[in-house]
Amino acid sequence: MQSKINRLEINKNILNAAITEFSQHGYIGASTQAIARRAGLAKSQLHYYIGSKEALYQRVLGTLFEAWGEIFEFDSQKSSSPADIISHYIDLKLNFALQNKELSRIFTVEIISGGKSLSQFWPDAMVRMSSNIEVINGWIKEEKIRALDGRLLMMNIWALTQYYADYALQAEVILEGSLEDPVLQEKVRKELNDLILLGCGLTPP
């Protein structure tokens, strides 16, 4: 059905426009005016589709957490070494940041704004985080990794990967190149792996 396809495309346009605007200006700072313009719709038309600004924002947050849910848990095959698991996790998180900069930034802006819209997403996210921390604590007991604090390790990996979404502008000035460049991406990937694995007392591949 033609109308259904259009409907889907309009929704995709709106979602993308909303991600761009909310990521740049936060919930309060973004305007439905600007979102409508970016989506190529009249403001009244936009409101017809989204219901309310708040509802649209929740949809955007939902999109983000759905995607993150799939990459946030350690892929811990019994056969894998701590170095492999951590390295794989870094790669996934970094790739998501590099390929979904605006979506990633929305979380940062929301946290800085006080995080009041995150209440429904915290529990799931914390469960995954805790499960990873348990795995790390297991490694420490088996002396497969130095006696660090698993919570801080997870947070530090977060900080290092999230940086390349939030601070892409700064990074590209300092590196004098584009983060879209696969060569630069690989350089960042390798450097993060080396820093963190060595920092954990492990040997990078």
Partner DNA sequence: GTCTATATGGGGATAGAC
Partner DNA sequence: GTCTATCCCCATATAGAC
Question: Which of 2, 5, 44, 116 touches DNA by CB under 7 A?
Answer: 44
Q: Closest distance between DNA and the C-beta of residue 81, in Å?
A: 50
Cβ contacts of 197 within 8 Å, gap of 6 or more:
83, 86, 87, 203, 204
Tokens of 181: 């460049």
Cβ proximity to a copy of itself: between 42 and 173 the closer is 173
DSSP 117: G
Cβ proximity to a copy of itself: between 11 and 37 the closer is 37
Q: Closest distance between DNA and the C-beta of residue 42, in Å?
A: 4
Question: Which of 16, 32, 58, 156 touches DNA by CB under 7 A?
Answer: 32
Cβ proximity to DNA: between 50 and 202 the closer is 50
Exposure class string for 13-23: b at 16+ Cβ within 10 A, else e:
bbbbbbbbbbb
Dump the DSSP string for 152-200.
HHHHHHHHHHHHHHHTHHHHHHHHTS-TT-HHHHHHHHHHHHHHHHHHT
Cβ proximity to a copy of itself: between 85 and 168 the closer is 168
Interface positions with a copy of itself (CB under 8 A): 23-29, 105, 108-109, 111-115, 122, 126, 129, 148-149, 151-156, 158-160, 162-163, 166-167, 169-171, 173-175, 187-188, 191-192, 194-196, 198-201
Q: Closest distance between a copy of itself and the C-beta of residue 77, in Å?
A: 25
Question: Which of 12, 42, 122, 187 touches DNA by CB under 7 A?
Answer: 42
**Residue 91 near residue 35 (C-beta atoms within 8 A):** no
Dump the DSSP string for 57-74.
HHHHHHHHHHHHHHHSS-
